[in-house]
């Protein structure tokens, strides 16, 4: 259903460096790049994540209550992605670990612009 999610940034170069490094931990790479917009994916046809300067030229702001969840296939990848985000200057919003007893495993962080994301997997 979801094709891609776009997060606003006021510094596209800084956002690009952050997401190039963080998404590389799950084999993410740039799939599209234009003035003011860069998108990443893990494979052609898979959902993507984009960073963009706002089209209206106004300041990008964080959506309160908005979060992007990045699904991976193992708890090790959750750990690696969260660790890389911390190394790149992200703010910890919840260390990787199990949540509840349903097999949901996630780590939460805010990117350099304050956008909230998580990496998660379902452990069976």
pLDDT recorded at residue 64: 83
Q: Is the pLDDT of residue 27 over 90?
A: yes
Q: Taking a C-beta distance cutoff of 8 angstroms, is the pair 97, 78 a contact? A: no
Rg from Cα positions in the chain: 14
Q: Is the pLDDT of residue 1 over 90?
A: no
pLDDT recorded at residue 14: 98
pLDDT recorded at residue 113: 96
Going from the N-terminus, what domains does the chain have, and what CATH number goes with each?
A: 4-53+67-122 (3.10.180.10)
- Report the 3 state secondary structure along 5-58: EEEECCCHHHHHHHHHHHHHCCCCEEEEEECCEEEEECCCCCCEEEEECCCCCC
Q: Is the pLDDT of residue 118 over 90?
A: yes
Which H helix or E strand runs over 10?
none
The phi and psi torsions of 30 (rounded to 5 degrees) equal -60, 135
Checking DSSP bridges between strand 104-110 and strand 116-122, what pairing results, if any?
antiparallel
Question: Mean of the per-residue pLDDT values for the chain?
Answer: 95
Pairwise CA distance, residues 120 & 122, whole Å: 7
**What pLDDT, in 10s, does the model give residues 48-97?**
999 999 999 999 999 888 999 999 999 999 999 999 999 999 999 999 99
């Amino acid at each position: 259903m979801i094709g891609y999610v776009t997060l606003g940034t006021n510094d596209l170069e800084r956002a690009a460096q952050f997401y190039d490094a963080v998404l590389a931990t799950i084999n993410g790479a740039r799939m599209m790049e234009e003035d003011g917009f860069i998108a990443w994916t893990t494979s052609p046809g898979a959902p993507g994540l984009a960073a963009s300067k706002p089209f209206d030229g106004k300041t990008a702001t964080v959506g309160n209550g908005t979060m992007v969840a990045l699904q991976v296939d193992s708890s090790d990848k959750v750990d690696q992605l969260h660790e890389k985000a911390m190394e790149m200057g992200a703010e910890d919003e919840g260390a990787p670990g199990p949540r509840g007893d349903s097999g949901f495993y996630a780590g939460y962080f805010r990117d350099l612009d304050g956008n909230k994301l998580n990496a998660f997997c379902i452990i069976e």
